[in-house]
Structure 1
Amino acid sequence: MFKPTVGPIIGHTTTNHARIFIRGEAKNSETTFAGLRYRKFGEEQWTKATFVSLSALRDLCEVFSINDLDSDTEYEYQTGWFSPMNPAHNIESVAELPLQWPREVYRLRTRSTETRQARAYIVGSCRYLRMTAGIASLPQLGDRIFASINQLIEGAEPPVSATLMTGDQIYVDDLNLVAPDREYKDILHKYRTAFSQPNIQKLMSGTSTYMILDDHEIEDNWPANADKSDHELYRNAMAAYEQYQVSHSPAHELKFNGQINREKLEHYWYQFSDGDIEWFVTDSRTRRNLSADDRRILDQEQEQALLEWLINSPARVKFVVTSVMFYPDRKVLGDDAWKAFPEQRLRLLETIRTQRIKNVVFVSGDVHGSLTSRLTHSEDPDFEVHTIVSSPLYNSILLPYAKTSTFILDQPLAVTAAGNYRHELTSEVISEDNFAHVVVEAGQILVNYHDRDGKQLQSIAIKLH
């Protein structure tokens, strides 16, 4: 057996379930299989291996579903792919072959059932990887920050539950003015290259990774910049996105047999929980309505699901991921974010305020700058919402970093008959490559920003109520 060409990537993980993505390889039209086995850390006996057939229609990618795990438990696993000499083999017959598994042993940890236990997460976005003629230019620069994340995770207490990648995991349009990628094979190659760099590969093989797209997975400022010729681009970009980012996410439901239902995918947005902390990861990019009479950044179904979750979820802390900034607004280019959809934003805020929903935090990236900020209401002292922005993991030399002067900070976010929504920065604006280490404790959320070498840049405490 050979080690995966991409992955393994640990995706959605619960107290008793985990999803593991891998990609194999095939020469000519060989029949190719992938296998996975696991055991509790410290035990010698492996479970009976699971095998799947890899299809070129899915770029030789597959996601294993592991069920009936114990909570808050560390497991080891091995995985790989192979093409048997006899093309007549099937999933049942390859299980009888005397296979030599790859030497690499990976680890994963299931979620804890202890609700009040402290939790930690890594948050980042916008990882630029320049590709020229199909070859990555200086890929080690874009991979460097993941070595620092790995180092932090190794000694982190509480353990890091998951990594949240909140958009622009790849740049399909990195050469948009010269030779943009539009073909499916070229976009797939970009994913393979980006996700197989050594440090990000190590991160994703040992820590659950949750992803959501932003515009550069398709095209800058999508769909505002789309034209009639972009239908094929969109179809190709989404097909690749579904293989490499959606496939291991909670957007896919499980079938009765515990396996992932790859035939059914209703939307890209999803929810997941971790003790008494819950996340709602929105798709704020592909469901937009730009018409003047019903402008929406979230479609009606998604908005309704988000509002019902905000009102009805018993979670102590509610994180809402939106790849573009919820607030504060940018002075320039703000129309690509929530600034251009003020009615829908106000509906969310009014629901949070009138329903007395506590500890709501909006998490985003996009702007190539990091910050935290606090939103209050002039007539309602009980209302408070926070935002955590983490961007970029690695910036292009062609793109500027955000600064404090980038944002509108001297006027209310919204003015209503019931009062004004006012916001203020609760951190400095970080204008360099960075990531956020977010720790949820009993009485506060601690947001620690680190530079690409792992040095802590600043730490912000958000009080919980």
Structure 2
Amino acid sequence: MFKPTVGPIVGHTTTHQTRLFLRGTPRKNISVFAGIRYRRAGEVCWLNSIFAKLEPVRDGCEVIALNELSADTEYEYQAGWFSPAGPMHTVETAQQLPLQWPQDLYRFRTPSNTTTKPRAYIVGSCRYLRMTGGMPVLPHRSDRIFASIMQQVHHAQPPVSAVLMTGDQVYVDDLNIVAPDRELNDIFSKYRAAFSQPNISQLMSSVPTYMILDDHEIEDNWPANKSNKDDYLYTNAMTAYEIYQASHSPIPELLDNGRVSSTLNRYWYQFTEGDIEWFVTDSRTRRNLSTADRRILDQAQEIALCEWLINSSARVKFVVTSVMFYPDKKIQGDDAWKAFPEQRLRLLETIRQHRIKNVIFVSGDVHGSLTSRLTHSEDPDFEVHTVVSSPLSNSKLLPYANAASFILDQPLARTAEGEYRHALTGAVISQDNFAHLVVDAGQIRVSYHDHEGKLLQQTDIPLR
């Protein structure tokens, strides 16, 4: 067996299940299979081995589910792919072959089922990896921050439960002016290069990783910049996104054979850890730009989000939106929620009128990081916060945001009942960084670190 060419990636993980992504090398007219075997850390005997056939139409990628796991338990696993000599092999016959597994041993931990246990998360976005002629240029620059994240993971208490990548994990459009990538194989190559660098690969093989797309997975400021010729680009970009990012999320249905379905009907999703819940929105592909009913979230998604906010019993509710919920940017802010004020106000009024506490909006996109508090002039019980983390790795061609980039001296919204007012709760960070969130009984501690792991800023958000 050979090592995976991309992965393994630990995806959606619960107290009893995890989803593992991996890629082999597809071969024309030759069957290719992938396998995973696993056991509790420190044990000698393997609990199970699961195999799947790899298809060229999916670029040789597959997601395998491990079921009937125990809560708060460390598991170790091996993963690989192979091509049997005979052309007539099936998954059942291939797994009977005498296989020599790759020596690499990976580990992950299932979450605790203790509801009130403190939890920790890593949040980041905008990882720029330049590609020229199909090859990454200076890839260590975009990969070095993941080594620092791994150091944080190794020493973190409480343990890091998950990594949230909130958009622009790849830049499909990095050379749009010179040589735009529109072909599916070219987009696949960008994903393979981005996800196979050594440090990010090590991180994703051990910590559950949740992803959502933003514009650069398709094209800058999508769909505002869409042309009549971009349908082909969109189809290919979303095919690659579904295979490499959405496939190991909570969205796909779990099948009886230990696989997950390749059919997706949406990109937004939810997941839960104890008394903490996450709602990861798709704020990019369901936009309506018409003047009659402008939406950044489609109607079904808005209804689901509002119902979740109202009915969820979670003590802390994180809402991920790849573009900033607030504050608004002075320039080029129309790509974010600033351009959809009616829908944003509906969400804020839902939170305020139902007196929902501990709502945190998490986003990236702007190449600057910050925390901010939103209040209401006539309702002292209303309060929401935002945590922005961007970029993981910037391009020298793209500027960083700073405090002067945002509209901070005006109310976010006005109604007959009062004004929504916001203020920064820390400095705006204008360099490569990631956020480390720790949720305990009384607060959320947000710590920003640079690409070397150095602490840049720390903010505490009191829970109510």
User: Which residue does the alignment assign to 1:30?
Assistant: 30
Please give the secondary structure, in 2, of the residue aligned with 1:187: helix
Distance 1:314 1:393 in 2: 33
C-alpha deviation, 1:256, in angstroms: 5.2
1:74-102, Cα deviation, whole Å (9 max, x unpaired): 00010100001112211111121110000
Asked if 1:194 is matched to 2:188, the reply is: no
Once structures 1 and 2 are overlaid, which stretch shifts more, 309-318 or 82-91?
Answer: 82-91
C-alpha deviation, 1:258, in angstroms: 5.4
1:348-378, Cα deviation, whole Å (9 max, x unpaired): 0000000000000000000000000000000
Please give the secondary structure, in 2, of the residue aligned with 1:49: strand
Mapped contact 2:35–2:52 kept (Cα < 8 A): yes
Distance 1:252 1:358 in 2: 30
Distance 1:260 1:314 in 2: 28
Output aligned runs, 1:225-374, within 5 Å: 225-255=225-255, 259-262=259-262, 264-374=263-373
User: Which residue does the alignment assign to 1:8?
Assistant: 8
Asked if 1:463 is matched to 2:462, the reply is: yes
Distance 2:277 2:100 in 1: 41
Distance 2:254 2:317 in 1: 24
User: Which residue does the alignment assign to 2:139?
Assistant: 139
C-alpha deviation, 1:257, in angstroms: 5.6
Please give the secondary structure, in 2, of the residue aligned with 1:151: helix
Distance 1:256 1:75 in 2: 22
Please give the secondary structure, in 2, of the residue aligned with 1:206: coil
User: Which residue does the alignment assign to 2:158?
Assistant: 158
User: Which residue does the alignment assign to 1:431?
Assistant: 430
Distance 2:28 2:375 in 1: 61
Asked if 1:126 is matched to 2:131, the reply is: no
1:26-58, Cα deviation, whole Å (9 max, x unpaired): 344321000011000111000231111110011
Distance 1:76 1:394 in 2: 30
Distance 1:93 1:332 in 2: 60
Which amino acid in the other structure matches residue 56 of structure 2? A
Distance 2:362 2:48 in 1: 40
Distance 1:257 1:137 in 2: 40
Which amino acid in the other structure matches residue 317 of structure 2? K
Mapped contact 2:26–2:55 kept (Cα < 8 A): no
Please give the secondary structure, in 2, of the residue aligned with 1:229: coil
Count how many residue pairs are aligned between Structure 1 and Structure 2: 464
Runs of 4+ in 1 over 4 A off after TM superposition: none
Distance 1:269 1:28 in 2: 34
C-alpha deviation, 1:261, in angstroms: 2.1
User: Which residue does the alignment assign to 1:404?
Assistant: 403
Distance 1:308 1:17 in 2: 26
Please give the secondary structure, in 1, of the residue aligned with 2:230: helix
1:412-439, Cα deviation, whole Å (9 max, x unpaired): 0001001000000001000000000000
Mapped contact 2:50–2:258 kept (Cα < 8 A): no
User: Which residue does the alignment assign to 2:52?
Assistant: 52
Alpha-carbon RMSD across the aligned residues, in angstroms, is: 0.8
User: Which residue does the alignment assign to 1:100?
Assistant: 100
Distance 2:163 2:341 in 1: 30
Which amino acid in the other structure matches residue 104 of structure 1? D
C-alpha deviation, 1:252, in angstroms: 1.1
Q: State, as a whole percentage, how many aligned pairs show the same letter.
A: 69
Please give the secondary structure, in 2, of the residue aligned with 1:280: strand
Mapped contact 1:323–1:364 kept (Cα < 8 A): yes
Mapped contact 2:64–2:258 kept (Cα < 8 A): no
User: Which residue does the alignment assign to 2:19?
Assistant: 19
Asked if 1:169 is matched to 2:152, the reply is: no
Distance 2:248 2:361 in 1: 23
User: Which residue does the alignment assign to 1:110?
Assistant: 110
Mapped contact 1:36–1:50 kept (Cα < 8 A): yes
C-alpha deviation, 1:442, in angstroms: 0.5
Which amino acid in the other structure matches residue 447 of structure 2? N
Which amino acid in the other structure matches residue 157 of structure 1? Q
Distance 1:253 1:93 in 2: 26
C-alpha deviation, 1:254, in angstroms: 1.9
Mapped contact 1:26–1:83 kept (Cα < 8 A): no
Structure 2: give runs of 5+ residues left out of the alignment. none
Distance 1:104 1:254 in 2: 27
Distance 2:342 2:418 in 1: 15
User: Which residue does the alignment assign to 2:377?
Assistant: 378
Distance 1:402 1:313 in 2: 34
Please give the secondary structure, in 1, of the residue aligned with 2:383: strand
Distance 1:26 1:337 in 2: 39
Q: Provide the TM-score with structure 2 as the length reference.
A: 0.99
Once structures 1 and 2 are overlaid, which stretch shifts more, 409-418 or 83-92?
Answer: 83-92
Which amino acid in the other structure matches residue 382 of structure 1? D
Distance 1:462 1:70 in 2: 32
Distance 1:76 1:391 in 2: 32
Please give the secondary structure, in 2, of the residue aligned with 1:190: helix
Q: Provide the TM-score with structure 1 as the length reference.
A: 0.99
Which amino acid in the other structure matches residue 310 of structure 2? I
Please give the secondary structure, in 2, of the residue aligned with 1:22: strand
User: Which residue does the alignment assign to 2:65?
Assistant: 65
Which amino acid in the other structure matches residue 13 of structure 2? T
CA separation of 1:428/1:150 partners in 2, compared to 1, >3 Å: closer, same or farther?
same
Distance 2:264 2:153 in 1: 32
